[in-house]
Amino acid sequence: LAGIDGQWDFAALDGFLEAPKEWAPGTKMGFAGLSKPEDRASVIAWLNEQSASPLPLPAVESAEEEAAEAPAAEEVETARAEAADATVYEGDNEVEVSAEEVETATVEVQETGDADVAAVKVVPSEEVADVEVEQKTEMAAVEEKAVEEVVTEEKVAEVQAEEAPKVVEPKEMEVAAAKVEETAKAEEPAAPAAPAKAPEVAVAAAATGFMALADIDKGAKVFRKCRACHKVEAGKNGVGPSLHGVVGRDIGGVDGFKYSDALMAKGGKWDVEALNGFLLKPKEWAPGTKMAFAGLRKEEDRASVIAWLNQQSDNPLPLE
């Protein structure tokens, strides 16, 4: 269609609506066309009326003019007789012409005034059937594609609900975090109790060569425990604040999210040391936090999830 010059005037619309695939070879239009001139004229006139500035319709010939141009009755009868006696060939084989096909050809003679049409335009019924099957197949493919692209109202509502800002109450945060902790305990085998040590000592020990333990792929798996409360997409908060760009960000730095007083009192930035301490034991690192997550005991788990979160940032930082 893009390769055809000109405008959609009355003649162009009539040609396309009659036989789209002949008027624009290669078009994806699966519609077979409108064979009746009155149908094409009617739909073009209706479309014209939907315009803000309808165009004047072409002049209609008077009955006298039409009569003058119509073939004489004897010409029609002659064409009918010639069509009845005609032998039509398809390749080297004779094709039997049915009475209905002769009548169709005769109607074309009446419309065009061409007496030769009756003898040469008869189409074998098998070829007509093949064309109809092809058109139905193309229409089915078009309809199937249209169905695939339909987005239901329920789906739209679901997406809108997911993207809508959410106000989270502290109680909801505690319940969701408790579920995450319960799931994590069920999935992870019990480990021998680690020797008791002060949190600050553990952080200091982990800070030396700590990030050498990181495995980004493992970090993605570890983060599954956090997905119930946190998202990593920019600007999308869950029960907890978005963790997009968290590495190096100010503690309590997501605008519009209501943090606990315990976290707001910490100050500073979420560097490796702060993240490591928080992920080890949130309630000890920030006493009074609403975070119910028990923490990650394994150093490689903490290092891996920090490295993975860093990679989700628009500007990942060098980690040591």
pLDDT in tens, the chain (320 residues): 998 999 999 999 999 999 999 999 999 888 889 999 999 999 999 999 999 999 998 876 555 665 665 556 666 666 566 555 544 544 455 555 555 665 665 555 555 554 444 444 444 555 556 656 666 776 666 666 555 545 555 655 565 555 554 555 556 666 766 776 676 666 655 555 554 444 443 333 344 488 998 999 998 999 998 888 889 998 888 888 999 999 999 998 898 888 888 888 988 999 999 999 999 999 999 998 888 788 999 999 999 999 999 999 999 998 86
Nearest to 57 by CA among 21, 20, 9: 9
What pLDDT score was predicted for residue 58? 81
The dihedrals phi and psi of 118, each to the nearest 5 degrees, come to -60, -35
Distance in angstroms (rounded) separating the CA atoms of residues 302 and 205: 13
Instruction: Output the CA–CA distances (angstroms, integers) from residue 137 to 34, 134, 206, in the order listed.
Output: 18, 5, 67
Distance in angstroms (rounded) separating the CA atoms of residues 8 and 44: 10
Whole-prediction pTM: 0.38
Contact status, residue 143 vs residue 31, Cβ threshold 8 Å: no
- Residue 142 has what DSSP assignment? H
Distance in angstroms (rounded) separating the CA atoms of residues 151 and 65: 54
Distance in angstroms (rounded) separating the CA atoms of residues 259 and 244: 16
Distance in angstroms (rounded) separating the CA atoms of residues 52 and 251: 59
Classified as helix, coil or strand, 89 is strand
